[in-house]
Amino acid sequence: MCGRLNAIFDSEVRGLYTSLQINKIIDRPIDSRFQSAAKEVSIVRNIGQQRRVENATWWLLLNQTDTGFKPSKFTSFNTRYDKLNTPNSAGFQSYRNSRCILTVKGFGETEFVNKKPLHYYDMQAEKGGLLLGGLYKEWRHNITGETKLSCSVITLPPHSKLKHIHSKAMPLILPQDHNLINAWLDPEFNDTSQFEPLLSPHIPTNLIAHQIDKPARFNAFGSPQLIEKDENLF
């Protein structure tokens, strides 16, 4: 998955937020057609029994500066599925007690050949929005006392239906299943073996893929492609 999200806060995405039974809106959800890595994105997380919407830096590892925080030199807007169970990796502990959800309209993919972009695609839900499985960290500045949230999106191996669009990876798109979502967001639920089925490439909802000229312009060309969902995991 490449570092851009379609975070438009339209009526369908608002409906998806409603389905998540939010208790507290700390920050108004980001409303942006093009939100890139290292920028602010909205996450849903549980603090005890309270389910919150808060904004976080889309870059899991942050460095403290004299006055705040900045993204680390280590790329961490994504966390690979095969690092989640590797002790001392960036996402190991977060996967066990700091999971979150990014509620978005869609995401962008760029295919590179010899480090040059071959094509750009916009991917979005045919209806409603997408729940992306993510991780978060909470940071506290030891001089100013400022607290800051950061996050990443979990990425999976490429899906056979998407390899012509992006051949390296895809984001973890969570099934919109009430029990699964409750377990995913529960910081006390640390039996991550229950999430193993999620770590194989899976498309739980129909997607529309449209080739575009440039990510910042969104000029689509050609015919949109329907990527049909897979059978239910749960």
Nearest CA to 206 out of 95, 103, 113, 126 is that of: 126
The pLDDT value given to residue 87 = 95
137-185 tens-digit pLDDT: 999 999 999 999 999 999 999 999 999 999 999 999 999 999 999 999 9
Query: What is the rounded CA–CA span in Å between residue 224 and residue 208?
Result: 6
pLDDT above 90 for 74:
yes
Furthest-apart CA pair in the chain: how many Å? 54
Residue 104 has pLDDT above 80, yes or no: yes
Locate 122 and state its tokens.
């916009």
Q: How confident is the model at residue 49 (pLDDT cuts 50, 70, 90)?
A: confident
Of 198 and 234, the one with more pLDDT: 198
Q: State residue 66's pLDDT score.
A: 92
Mean local confidence (pLDDT), 73-101: 96
Cα–Cα distance measured from residue 8 to residue 233, given in angstroms and rounded to the nearest whole number: 27
What is the DSSP code string of 166-212?
A: -SS-EE-B----HHHHHHHH-TT---GGGGGGGGS----S-EEEEEE
Q: Is the pTM of this model over 0.75?
A: yes
Separation of alpha carbons 100 and 115, rounded Å = 31
What is the percent of the chain where pLDDT is above 90?
Answer: 91
Contact status, residue 7 vs residue 17, Cβ threshold 8 Å: no
Mean pLDDT of the chain: 95
Work out the pLDDT band at 234, boundaries 50, 70, 90. confident
- pLDDT confidence of residue 4: 95
Q: What local confidence, expressed as pLDDT, does residue 218 receive?
A: 79
pLDDT at position 6: 96
Mean pLDDT confidence for 15-36: 96
- CB under 8 Å to 171, separation ≥6 — which residues? 1, 78, 107, 132, 133, 153, 154, 155, 156
pLDDT score at 219: 87
| H-state helical runs in 63-190 | 92-97, 178-185
Model confidence at 217, pLDDT cuts 50, 70, 90, reads confident
Count CA within 13 A, CB hemisphere, residue 199: 13
DSSP string, 33-70: EEEETTSEEEEEEEETTEEEEEEEES-S-EEE-SSSEE
Q: Which fold has domain 4-227?
A: hypothetical protein yedk fold (3.90.1680)
| Three-state DSSP class for residue 129 | coil
Looking at residue 41, its pLDDT comes to 98
> What is the mean predicted confidence (pLDDT) over 103-119?
94
Q: Where are the domains of the chain?
A: 4-227
Instruction: Using pLDDT thresholds of 50, 70 and 90, give the confidence band for residue 24.
Output: very high
Position 33 scores a pLDDT of 93
pLDDT surpassing 80 at residue 98 = yes
